């Protein structure tokens, strides 16, 4: 009953607030005050809604108005990032409509677009400036170890719905693209220091400059976070200590041609994760993870207009994760070369086409003692993947009121061969403020290294031969197929200068979701589990969202999401339901409310609330409903500095947000007071 009431309240807020924005007097077209350079200080805190209708690049791989994209797109702006007071990339994604976020521990998040999220959310493709940061070893992203500083982010675009036609494999549910600021927009020295009552310390330093045709930015930071969770049992040790640095530069040959060169490095140590069975079989309290990684990206662009450009890009990703206490280490090195062309074709068509080739080199080391040791290993002989893809899209302005978008992509990889993804969208905009969208898409996810090659053994029996030495065994499957999704969507967008509102209705049909399932009779020793394409199901849902610039000093936003997972059955009697896998059934309802008020110039009050319905699983693995309220006050200290004081999770000291059947329950969301000082010189 509580969840129903909250859902009704959320709908009521949208129903009351949004018509007021439409019927109310439109604000005078004042220009916001001139901006200032710095981290979040580049602009006076006049909000994005006072500017032009936003454009996005992640849905079609080229610039287009958000309301005319082939998918629903959520945008987290730099103003929202700065005002939120968030200290981690995972927390930031709570601001996006349609993204499920559950904190697992100090450095791990379960994040996915429209559900199927977990520790390794392998149905959502994540990019940073167009460079994939999806982990081919386990799937998903290690959110706590990315070498990016939050104040360097220009915006985050979230494509809700399959993005395989544009981006290829693993964009089954959507795409998250983290876009950093141009180096020319961040001149001078910048310092940000955040401290909390939990003894967290988040430090960010940056220097940017322009030397003739060269713009560059150097950033460095250090995150130190103590244990955040409270475990049901012994003390928790999920700390994080992470130094990181990054470079972004742009060399302008002329007004149309430019070369971007970006690089980043991180080398951190994290405390033990709350898994029941660690890879090495070591005690939970003593386990440590060491993560090291770097990237390099180079991109040449020749752009005459937003719909007339070509580019070629190369990037290198390398990351190593090493578990202490006798665990394995795994490393992946990824090389990718991509070319793209966007060009008009006649008066009514815009073509986007291109392709890429990629090589993943995945190496690993066994625990001491080799394959017979208690723990986990990977098969080094089957850990190389070569992939190539081609894509083409056509945007056809059929008339002043109709736009048709069609796209397709084919990919070939070393394990599953040829696969394809496609998308077709019809947009109807009878007047500029109103847009109706009908779309259908197909996408796929390829198996990860772990799903193909893992060999896990745990729980030594201590019994003599011929009895089995271990009570539990798990194996990968080199004969896995990709999992597939077909999606059908209907959307509506209202967009004007002081108000935006949207409604999205969708149905995702999944085939062959990969999970680990039991292959021995109940009670048999050893218990043997093998990965397989075992689950089919449907996800139904709708999303309501709105933003209203009520006055020049007050902004309100609200969102309500309803989703329902329906499993069609399993392919064998002993295959598990989805909640017994590493992916979570999405909560049925989610509510988000936010407000920003500036009573006087230089003073801003920010508040945000979330309520998330229960996550239903097996009887022993159940996440109750939880809520969170954040509030902060920001005060400018002259032209080039400011201080913010706030609290996160003010009214609910602790709660669980995400877990699955192989993890110990862990309460996160500790009430945290913080102070943040920022200065630009």
Average pLDDT over residues 366-387: 59
Using 50, 70 and 90 to split pLDDT, how confident is the model at 421? very high
pLDDT at 172: 94
Average pLDDT over residues 68-80: 94
**Total-model pTM:** 0.89
- 39 closest CA partner among 97, 74, 79: 79
Residues forming beta bridges with residue 606, ordered by sequence position: 596, 632
Using 50, 70 and 90 to split pLDDT, how confident is the model at 378? low
Q: Distance between CA atoms of 206 and 217, rounded to whole angstroms?
A: 7
Is the pLDDT at 369 greater than 50, yes or no?
no
Is the pLDDT at 213 greater than 90, yes or no?
yes
Is the pLDDT at 546 greater than 90, yes or no?
yes
Report which of residues 53 and 294 the model is more confident about. Answer: 294
Q: Which domains does the chain have, with CATH numbers?
A: 2-288+298-680 (2.40.170.20)
Cis before 526? omega within 30: yes
Q: Are 98 and 543 within 8 A, CB to CB?
A: yes
pLDDT at 368: 46
Using 50, 70 and 90 to split pLDDT, how confident is the model at 282? very low
Is the pLDDT at 376 greater than 80, yes or no?
no
Choose the weakest-confidence range: 58-67, 318-327, 508-517: 318-327
Is the pLDDT at 8 greater than 60, yes or no?
no
Is the pLDDT at 285 greater than 60, yes or no?
no
Burial label for 126, CB within 10 Å (0-12, 13-18, 19+), is buried
**Separation in Å, CA 297 to CA 248, 267, 386, 486:** 9, 19, 19, 33
Choose the weakest-confidence range: 1-15, 77-91, 379-393, 650-664: 1-15
Using 50, 70 and 90 to split pLDDT, how confident is the model at 400? very high
Q: Are 536 and 572 within 8 A, CB to CB?
A: no
Cis before 631? omega within 30: no
Report which of residues 584 and 510 the model is more confident about. Answer: 510
Using 50, 70 and 90 to split pLDDT, how confident is the model at 242? very high
Kindly compute the dihedral angle of the four CA atoms of residues 245, 315, 164, 128, in this order, to the nearest 10 degrees: 20
Using 50, 70 and 90 to split pLDDT, how confident is the model at 660? low
DSSP reduced 3-state for 80: helix
DSSP reduced 3-state for 618: coil
Percentage of the chain modeled with pLDDT above 70: 81
Q: Distance between CA atoms of 133 and 127, rounded to whole angstroms?
A: 6
Using 50, 70 and 90 to split pLDDT, how confident is the model at 578? confident
Q: Are 405 and 395 within 8 A, CB to CB?
A: yes
- pLDDT, one tens digit per residue, over 443-468 is 999 998 888 888 777 667 777 877 77
pLDDT at 548: 94
pLDDT at 366: 59
Report which of residues 48 and 245 the model is more confident about. Answer: 245
Q: Distance between CA atoms of 18 and 557, rounded to whole angstroms?
A: 9
Is the pLDDT at 575 greater than 50, yes or no?
yes
Q: Are 343 and 350 within 8 A, CB to CB?
A: yes
DSSP 227-281: ---EESSSPP---EEEEEEEEEEEEESSSSEEEEEEEEEEEEEEEPP-BSS-TT-
Report which of residues 179 and 232 the model is more confident about. Answer: 179
Q: What's the whole-number average pLDDT of the chain? A: 84
pLDDT at 17: 38
Q: Distance between CA atoms of 456 and 511, rounded to whole angstroms?
A: 26
pLDDT at 526: 83
Is the pLDDT at 588 greater than 90, yes or no?
yes
Average pLDDT over residues 545-573: 88
Is the pLDDT at 61 greater than 70, yes or no?
yes
Q: Distance between CA atoms of 106 and 349, rounded to whole angstroms?
A: 48
Using 50, 70 and 90 to split pLDDT, how confident is the model at 664? low
Average pLDDT over residues 277-304: 76
pLDDT at 332: 87
pLDDT at 230: 59
Q: Which string of b and e fits 532-567 if b means at least 16 CB within 10 Å?
A: bbbbbbebebebbbbbbbbeebebbbbbbbbbebee
Please enumerate in sequence order all residues whose Cβ is within 8 A of that of 204, keeping only pairs 6 or more positions apart, or say none. Answer: 39, 149, 150, 151, 190, 191, 192, 193, 219, 220, 221
pLDDT at 361: 87
Choose the weakest-confidence range: 79-88, 389-398, 453-462: 453-462
- pLDDT, one tens digit per residue, over 114-149 is 988 887 888 999 999 999 999 888 888 988 889 999
DSSP reduced 3-state for 285: helix
Using 50, 70 and 90 to split pLDDT, how confident is the model at 594? very high
Choose the weakest-confidence range: 29-33, 374-378, 496-500, 664-668: 29-33
Report which of residues 574 and 654 the model is more confident about. Answer: 654
Is the pLDDT at 573 greater than 80, yes or no?
no
Q: Distance between CA atoms of 555 and 546, rounded to whole angstroms?
A: 11
Highest mean pLDDT among 103-117, 235-249, 288-302 belongs to 288-302
Please enumerate in sequence order all residues whose Cβ is within 8 A of that of 4, keeping only pairs 6 or more positions apart, or say none. Answer: none
Is the pLDDT at 637 greater than 80, yes or no?
yes
Length of the chain: 681
Residues forming beta bridges with residue 248, ordered by sequence position: 217, 262
pLDDT at 48: 40
Q: Distance between CA atoms of 409 and 188, rounded to whole angstroms?
A: 43
- 275 closest CA partner among 284, 263, 262, 266: 284
Is the pLDDT at 92 greater than 90, yes or no?
yes
Choose the weakest-confidence range: 70-79, 156-165, 256-265, 666-675: 666-675
Place of tokens 């994939």: 132
Average pLDDT over residues 279-283: 46
DSSP reduced 3-state for 625: coil
pLDDT at 579: 67
């Amino acid at each position: 009953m509580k969840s129903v009431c909250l859902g009704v309240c959320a709908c009521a807020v949208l129903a009351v607030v949004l018509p007021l924005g439409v019927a109310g007097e439109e604000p005078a077209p004042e220009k916001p005050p001139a901006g200032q350079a710095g981290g979040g200080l580049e602009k006076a805190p006049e909000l994005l809604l006072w500017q032009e209708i936003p454009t996005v690049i992640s849905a079609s791989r080229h610039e287009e108005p958000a309301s005319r994209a082939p998918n629903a797109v959520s945008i987290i702006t730099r103003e929202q990032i700065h005002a939120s007071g968030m200290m981690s990339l995972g927390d930031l994604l709570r601001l996006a409509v349609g993204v499920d976020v559950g904190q697992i521990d100090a450095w791990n998040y379960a994040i996915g677009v429209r559900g199927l999220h977990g520790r390794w959310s392998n149905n959502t493709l994540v990019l940073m400036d167009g460079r994939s940061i999806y982990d081919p070893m386990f799937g998903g992203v290690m959110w706590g170890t990315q070498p990016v500083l939050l104040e360097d982010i220009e915006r985050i675009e979230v494509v809700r719905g399959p993005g395989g036609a544009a981006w290829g494999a693993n964009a089954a549910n959507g795409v998250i693209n983290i876009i950093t600021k141009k180096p020319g927009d961040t001149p001078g020295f910048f310092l940000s220091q955040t401290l909390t009552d939990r003894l967290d310390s988040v430090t960010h330093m940056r220097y940017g400059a322009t030397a003739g045709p060269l713009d560059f930015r150097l950033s460095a930071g250090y995150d130190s976070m103590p244990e955040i969770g409270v475990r049901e049992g012994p003390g928790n040790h999920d700390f994080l200590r992470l130094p990181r640095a990054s470079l972004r530069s742009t060399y302008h040959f002329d007004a149309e041609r430019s070369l971007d060169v970006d690089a980043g490095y991180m080398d951190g140590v994290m405390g033990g994760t709350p898994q029941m069975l660690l890879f090495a079989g070591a005690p939970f309290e003593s386990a440590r993870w060491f993560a090291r990684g770097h990237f390099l990206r180079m991109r040449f662009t020749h752009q005459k207009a937003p719909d007339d450009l070509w580019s070629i890009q190369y990037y290198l990703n390398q990351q190593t994760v090493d578990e202490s206490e006798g665990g394995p280490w795994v490393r992946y090195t990824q090389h990718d070369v991509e070319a793209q062309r966007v060009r008009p074709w006649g008066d009514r068509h815009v073509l986007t086409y291109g392709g890429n080739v990629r090589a993943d080199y995945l190496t690993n080391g066994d625990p001491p003692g080799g394959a017979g040791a208690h723990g986990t290993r990977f098969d080094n002989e089957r850990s190389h993947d070569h992939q190539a893809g081609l894509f083409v899209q056509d945007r056809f302005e059929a008339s002043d009121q109709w736009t048709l978008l069609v796209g397709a992509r084919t990919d070939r990889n070393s394990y599953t061969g040829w696969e394809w993804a496609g998308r077709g969208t019809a947009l109807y905009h009878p007047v500029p403020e109103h847009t109706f969208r009908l779309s259908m898409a197909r996408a796929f996810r390829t198996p990860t290294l772990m799903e193909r090659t893992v060999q896990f053994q745990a729980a030594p029996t201590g019994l003599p031969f011929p009895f089995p030495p271990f009570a539990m065994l798990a194996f990968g499957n080199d004969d896995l197929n990709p999992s597939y999704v077909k999606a059908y969507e209907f959307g509506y967008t209202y967009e004007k200068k002081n108000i935006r509102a949207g409604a999205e209705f969708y149905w995702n049909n999944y085939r062959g979701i990969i999970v680990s399932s039991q292959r021995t009779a109940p009670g048999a020793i050893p218990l043997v589990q093998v990965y397989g394409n075992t689950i089919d199901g449907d996800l139904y849902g709708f999303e309501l969202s709105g933003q209203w610039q009520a006055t020049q000093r007050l902004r309100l936003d609200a969102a309500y999401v309803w989703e329902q997972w329906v499993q069609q059955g399993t392919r064998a009697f002993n295959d598990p339901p989805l909640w017994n896998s590493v992916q979570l059934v999405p909560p049925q309802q989610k509510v988000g409310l936010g407000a920003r008020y500036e009573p006087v110039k230089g003073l801003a009050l920010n508040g945000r609330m979330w309520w998330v319905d229960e996550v239903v699983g097996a009887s022993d693995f159940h996440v109750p409903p939880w809520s969170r309220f954040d509030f902060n006050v920001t005060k400018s200290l002259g032209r080039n500095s400011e201080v913010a004081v706030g609290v996160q999770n003010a009214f609910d000291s602790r709660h669980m947000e995400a877990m699955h059947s192989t993890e110990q329950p862990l309460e996160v969301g500790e009430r945290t007071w913080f102070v943040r000082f920022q200065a630009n010189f």
